[in-house]
Chain A
């Protein structure tokens, strides 16, 4: 009974915590520009994330190590520095994007500029981490994130042409502006498979004191939770295709446009639901990212860490998330567009993914860590292929897109 409750809670928190600034913005842009033509990228990203999250939980439960601990121990600190710095930088940009997302939700709701909200939001995030427990951060905010299920309801109410949606499961080579098409695919993959998600998941499994007995729970949560989460992201894309592309709005450049996504379906409550979805989803992701930065740095240097410990017992860990939150607030307070930060960061994420994933795959095949629970060939191949596709697409499309090519 206890396991069933944990599975239900795990699935609910996975679903509620799936959508964040990156997955929301990239799905809206893709739906507006290519209708259902990029559904396949969401499916691919979700499959890869489910595999990685399952591995992260299995690794933590069996080895009693977080991924960061494992990489540092197995490959040495000097090797670990490379993925550490790359992931910390990408996570910092992503944290700024999420913080900007919360500030923008407040701007939409109140009319006060997001720049004004940047510092209060940063302070609120910090206070939640300083005073809160892991349970509040992980489960509380993710539960509230269930509001994002409204995108599935909206998609169903709009009666999409399911045959066209199904056609989007296959990548197309004949879309207009191919550089933009593949760049968007990279962004969706980057948004779906952010390294912080599985690094955070493994640290969470340690915080929750998982052991071998949780392997089944972990598998179900990773499989079902991520799949339902992927359905929400796909629903966002479908609604964007029907609302924006249907109205001739093919280019989404601002949250001022995105905020209209639910109003044709739900009227004024659509606006309220969008503000709530954006604010809560970004708050949840921002908290996880800030905590994730604390975990990564503390684990890299062998410091004491744990969200449930009082800050005076893990000062390095607490100082790390404090500094990252403060730094992330600067570009938002200065007026940088959170949507632009989000889109650039998603592409960069796909580029740095192999740095974190490849050493992790070595760990997942090392009996010293995972004993008889090593990866099967399906897990290894699925992750290598999807990460490889994301990396190559990012390598090719990022420069093309930045140079303005089509």
Chain B
């Protein structure tokens, strides 16, 4: 969750012009990798039958896809798509948070 929140903060700060684009791109790519790792771990746990992981797998996958979309739109420098991806990260994160 910390990495998805980091991705949101990066998007917000980039939109305000507070951080350079090269850093924002690199940091969101790191966030994307970290969320992928968490998702992979959760998939393993779900495969072992851990109830909580099974219940949260879909929300985690949605969060991961949203962070990917944010990183991709930032890599392309597409501000509009990045802002809507940041919103999607926020709501996917909220859904995951409420299921915990």
Q: Establish whether residues B10 and A260, one from each chain, have CB atoms under 8 Å apart when the complex forms.
A: yes
Interface residues of B in 22-40 (CB under 8 A from A): 22-23, 26-27, 30-31, 34
Q: Which residues of chain B have C-beta atoms less than 8 A from A271's C-beta?
A: 18-20, 23
Q: Which residues of chain B have C-beta atoms less than 8 A from A268's C-beta?
A: 17-19
Q: How far is the CA of A259 from the CA of B34 in the complex (A)?
A: 17
Interface residues of A in 252-292 (CB under 8 A from B): 252-254, 256-257, 259-260, 263-264, 267-268, 270-271
Q: Give the segment of A64-72, A172-180, A243-251 that binds chain B.
A: A243-251
Q: Which residues of chain B have C-beta atoms less than 8 A from A247's C-beta?
A: 5, 8-9
Q: A248-B1, A268-B17, A270-B18 are in contact. Are A257 and B23 (CB under 8 A)?
A: no
Q: A260-B10, A267-B17 are in contact. Are A111 and B26 (CB under 8 A)?
A: yes
Least CB distance from B64 to A in Å reads 17
Q: How far is the CA of A111 from the CA of B10 in the complex (A)?
A: 16
For chain B, the bracket of interface size reads 20 to 34
Tell whether A344 is near chain B: CB-to-CB under 8 Å. Answer: no
Q: Establish whether residues A254 and B19, one from each chain, have CB atoms under 8 Å apart when the complex forms.
A: no
Q: How far is the CA of A203 from the CA of B62 in the complex (A)?
A: 58
Q: A108-B23, A253-B34, A260-B10 are in contact. Are A267 and B16 (CB under 8 A)?
A: yes
Q: How far is the CA of A261 from the CA of B9 in the complex (A)?
A: 10
Q: Which residues of chain B have C-beta atoms less than 8 A from A259's C-beta?
A: 19, 23, 27
Least CB distance from B13 to A in Å reads 5
Which A residues form the contact surface with B (CB < 8 A)? 32, 107-108, 110-111, 247-254, 256-257, 259-260, 263-264, 267-268, 270-271
Q: Establish whether residues A256 and B9, one from each chain, have CB atoms under 8 Å apart when the complex forms.
A: no
Q: A248-B1, A249-B2 are in contact. Are A263 and B22 (CB under 8 A)?
A: no
Which B residues form the contact surface with A (CB < 8 A)? 1-3, 5-6, 8-10, 13, 16-20, 22-23, 26-27, 30-31, 34
Least CB distance from B11 to A in Å reads 11
A250 CB contact (under 8 Å) in B2, B18, B34? B2
Q: How far is the CA of A159 from the CA of B27 in the complex (A)?
A: 28
Least CB distance from B98 to A in Å reads 13
A263 CB contact (under 8 Å) in B2, B19, B34? B19
Q: A254-B30, A260-B10 are in contact. Are A111 and B2 (CB under 8 A)?
A: no
Q: A111-B26, A260-B10, A263-B13 are in contact. Are A249 and B5 (CB under 8 A)?
A: yes
8 A-B residue pairs with Cβ-Cβ distance under 8 Å, sorted by A, are A249-B6, A249-B9, A253-B3, A254-B30, A257-B3, A260-B10, A260-B13, A267-B17
Q: A256-B27, A260-B9, A260-B10 are in contact. Are A251 and B18 (CB under 8 A)?
A: no
Least CB distance from A79 to B in Å reads 46
Q: Which residue of B lies closest to A257 (CB)?
A: B6
Q: How far is the CA of A188 from the CA of B16 in the complex (A)?
A: 33
Q: Establish whether residues A263 and B5, one from each chain, have CB atoms under 8 Å apart when the complex forms.
A: no
Q: How far is the CA of A253 from the CA of B18 in the complex (A)?
A: 22
Excluding A248-B5, A268-B19, 19 further A-B contacts by CB distance (< 8 Å) are A107-B26, A111-B22, A111-B26, A247-B8, A248-B2, A253-B2, A253-B3, A253-B34, A256-B23, A256-B26, A257-B6, A259-B27, A260-B6, A260-B10, A263-B19, A267-B17, A268-B18, A270-B18, A271-B18
Q: How far is the CA of A270 from the CA of B23 in the complex (A)?
A: 14
Q: Establish whether residues A256 and B17, one from each chain, have CB atoms under 8 Å apart when the complex forms.
A: no
Q: Which residues of chain B have C-beta atoms less than 8 A from A252's C-beta?
A: 2
Q: How far is the CA of A256 from the CA of B10 in the complex (A)?
A: 10
Least CB distance from A82 to B in Å reads 40
Closest 10 CB pairs between A and B? A111-B22, A251-B2, A256-B27, A263-B18, A248-B5, A256-B30, A249-B5, A267-B18, A249-B2, A263-B13
Least CB distance from B18 to A in Å reads 4
Least CB distance from A322 to B in Å reads 32
Q: Which residue of B lies closest to A112 (CB)?
A: B22
Q: Which residue of A lies closest to B93 (CB)?
A: A248
Least CB distance from A101 to B in Å reads 16
Q: Which residue of B lies closest to A113 (CB)?
A: B26
Q: Which residue of A lies closest to B29 (CB)?
A: A256
Least CB distance from A140 to B in Å reads 28
Least CB distance from B53 to A in Å reads 17
Q: Which residue of A lies closest to B19 (CB)?
A: A271
Q: Which residues of chain B have C-beta atoms less than 8 A from A263's C-beta?
A: 13, 18-19
Q: How far is the CA of A267 from the CA of B20 in the complex (A)?
A: 11
Q: How far is the CA of A10 from the CA of B17 in the complex (A)?
A: 39
Least CB distance from B29 to A in Å reads 9
Q: Establish whether residues B2 and A264, one from each chain, have CB atoms under 8 Å apart when the complex forms.
A: no
Which residue among A32, A251, A257 has the maximum number of chain B CB atoms within 10 Å of its CB?
Answer: A257
